[in-house]
């Protein structure tokens, strides 16, 4: 399944969530992997009540990610028109790129998009060449070219 999304590009050309500020998380925690599939995890955690107060270990808030009752997962819009209409994130001055991801694992379908367990960037609109070349994604300089190649054709009339 394919989805459409935005990324903020870090100083090394890494793709990171465009809508989640990266701090206070460890440097590589929110990085989309250039060498393969990125796996979603839940940023929410609960403390194990069996541990002493203040020394509890973090455990997942649920067994599967994404979970229907949570907001976790790797997000993507269903079609490029929704992505094109989306606001630009305001929390960063980093370059923003858009593109297409192949989604896998557990996928929750919503009205406008998806939340997936696994994803891999397969195409990016990288007009300024800011994305690290280790990402094995097709590169485009024009939105129209990206959409023409990756958008699903409209359904046939019945």
DSSP line for 127-142: TT--S-TTS--EEES-
38 assigned to some structural domain: yes
- pLDDT, position 46: 44
42 assigned to some structural domain: yes
User: What is the rounded distance in angstroms from the CA atom of residue 28 to the CA atom of residue 22?
Assistant: 9
| pTM, 2 dp | 0.83
Confidence label for 121 from pLDDT (cuts 50, 70 and 90)? very high
Q: Domain residues for 140?
A: 2-150
157 assigned to some structural domain: no
Check residue 105 and give left, alpha or beta (phi > 0: left; psi -120 to 50: alpha). Answer: left
> At CA 18, angle to CA 16 and CA 41, rounded to 5?
60
156 assigned to some structural domain: no
Confidence label for 23 from pLDDT (cuts 50, 70 and 90)? low
Domain count, the chain: 1
pLDDT of 62 strictly over 90: no
Q: What is the pLDDT of residues 89-110, one digit of tens each?
A: 887 788 999 999 999 999 999 9
> At CA 112, angle to CA 88 and CA 138, rounded to 5?
60
Least confident segment among 5-14, 19-28, 54-63, 65-74: 54-63
């Amino acid at each position: 399944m394919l989805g459409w999304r935005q990324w903020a590009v870090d100083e090394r050309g890494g793709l990171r969530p465009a809508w989640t500020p990266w701090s206070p998380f460890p440097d590589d925690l929110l990085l989309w992997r250039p060498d393969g599939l990125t796996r979603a995890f839940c940023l929410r955690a609960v403390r194990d009540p069996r541990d002493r107060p203040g020394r509890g270990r973090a455990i997942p808030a649920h067994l599967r990610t994404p979970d229907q009752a949570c907001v976790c997962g790797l997000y993507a819009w269903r079609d490029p028109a929704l992505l094109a209409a989306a606001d630009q994130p305001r929390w960063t001055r980093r370059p923003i790129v858009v593109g297409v991801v192949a989604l896998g694992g557990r996928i929750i379908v919503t009205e406008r998009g998806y939340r997936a367990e696994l994803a891999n960037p397969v195409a990016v609109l990288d007009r300024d060449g800011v994305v690290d070349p280790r990402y094995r994604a097709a590169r485009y300089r024009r939105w129209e070219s990206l959409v023409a190649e990756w958008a699903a054709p409209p359904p046939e009339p019945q």
